[in-house]
Amino acid sequence: MIEIIIVSLITIFLIGGAFFTAVAAIGVIRLPDTYTRIHAASKSSTLGVGMTLIGVFIYFAYYQAEIETQLILAIIFIFISAPVGAHMIARSAFHSDVEPYKLTILNELKRDETGSEIETEEHVRLKIERSKDKELDD
Amino acid sequence: MTSFVYIIVIFSIIVFAITMLGMLYRTIKGPTLHDRVVTLDAFGVTLMGMIGLLSIVLETTYLLPIIMLIGMVGFIGTVGFAKFLEKGVIIENDRDNNS
Amino acid sequence: MSFQLLVNIILAFLWMFMNADMSVGTFVTGYLIGLVAVYLFRNFLPGRFYLRRLYLMIKLLFIFIIELVKANIDVVKIVMSPKIDIHPGFYAYPSDLEEEWEVALLSTLITLTPGTVVVAISDDYSIIYIHGLDMDDADEEIDNIKAAFENVIKEVAQP
């Protein structure tokens, strides 16, 4: 009876972990810009590998009767270090003048650093479209 | 029941391997250097998961401290690279101005 | 908080010395008796009762994990759709926190949330610049972050 519960828990964690890691890889291939790829790579791979390592921990605790706490330490380390790494890469990309995606709206950071305009052309175009939709509804 | 868990683990290993091939594509193609660094960071984290799964198939617990070590080395590499790309040096020697 | 913890551990060791029994069970019994004693005298020691702060820290940890799962469901929806139609943007978020470690904790929590990554922080730790993955309006995103996270961090930071 308890074996069925443990096997279903292990299955859920391992398949979920594999799914989220695959989403990280698809995101890094498909997304159009450096800043958006940072979102996909850091968040999805962290959760995917975290779930996989929890599944490995439950397997070793039940079948081999050994509680390996080094896996828990590895999971805590990934949760703390992956966002910090993502932030540092994003900051260095911004200061090295990597261009954002052409549909970016509202670049306030550039305004505060160099004093140039904040509303890009895409934002102005979207505002005009939405005001036209509201006029048609009335 | 052990054979059912075995099939799930083999399926997960195949999915992880295809993930690593996909990240390799972005590492080769990425137009800027920052794409390559962030993809290699995610590659290191995926490698940690792969070692955990392999230790189930090989039925040993001696591979588990390696997971922590690869995580630490990968993090230090990412941080060092990010500082180098921003400023040109990794550890600065003059701290006269608050930069 | 640290002074109360120190008093509690000293009381646990006093209990172990009085019973002349150096085992882990005696230590746990002495710790629980010391906990009751510190609770009775909480008005005479500096700061709030420290179990409340511990409970708030555990609540913050659970908020971390739930936000990470929600973030990934958002990324799945964006990546798996047949046509990618996103409008990213940079916006500035003014924060009221004062100390360095509170701003660091808030930045880590923002980076783990759906669709936001911290890009830069101004020199006096008062403005945080954020890159959002898919946004329409800057003001509602600012309100979401403020309502969900900043209040919990301010409660943890109170001495």
A109-134 pLDDT, tens digit per residue, is 666 656 555 556 666 666 676 667 66
The residue with greater pLDDT, C43 or C11, is: C11
Residue B26 tokens read as 């972005």
Of A4, A18, A93, Cβ closest to residue B34: A93
The pLDDT of residue C93: 81
Interface touch C117/A112, C-beta < 8 Å: no
- Containing A107, the helix (H) or strand (E) segment is strand A105-107
Specify the pLDDT at position A126: 67
For each successive 10 residues of chain B (99 residues), what is the average pLDDT? 90 96 93 92 95 93 93 94 86 65
Residues in chain C within 8 Å Cβ distance of A47: 68-69, 72
Q: A12, A52, A67, A84: best mutation site toward chain B, by most B Cβ within 10 Å?
A: A52
Q: Are B50 and A48 in contact (CB under 8 A)?
A: no
Half-sphere exposure (CA, 13 Å, Cβ side) for B29?
A: 12
Contact (CB<8Å) C90/A90: no
Q: Which residue of B has its CA nearest to A35?
A: B35
Interface of C with A in 105-134 (CB under 8 A): 107-108, 111-112, 115, 117-120, 122, 127, 129, 131, 133
What residues does each domain of chain C span? 2-40, 53-157
Kindly state whether A81 is in contact with chain B, defined as any CB-CB distance less than 8 angstroms: yes
- Type of residue numbered B29: K
Name the DSSP letter for residue C155: H
What are the sequence ranges of the domains in chain A? 2-99, 102-138
Give the span between the Cα atoms of B98 and C29, in whole angstroms. 51
Please check whether residue A126 touches C, CB under 8 A: yes
Q: Do A24 and B42 touch (CB under 8 A)?
A: yes
Is residue C32 scored above 90 in pLDDT? yes
A109 to chain C, any CB pair closer than 8 A? The answer is: yes
pTM across the whole model: 0.84
> Choosing among B41, B70, B84, B87, which should be mutated to test the A contact, i.e. which has the most A CBs within 10 A?
B41
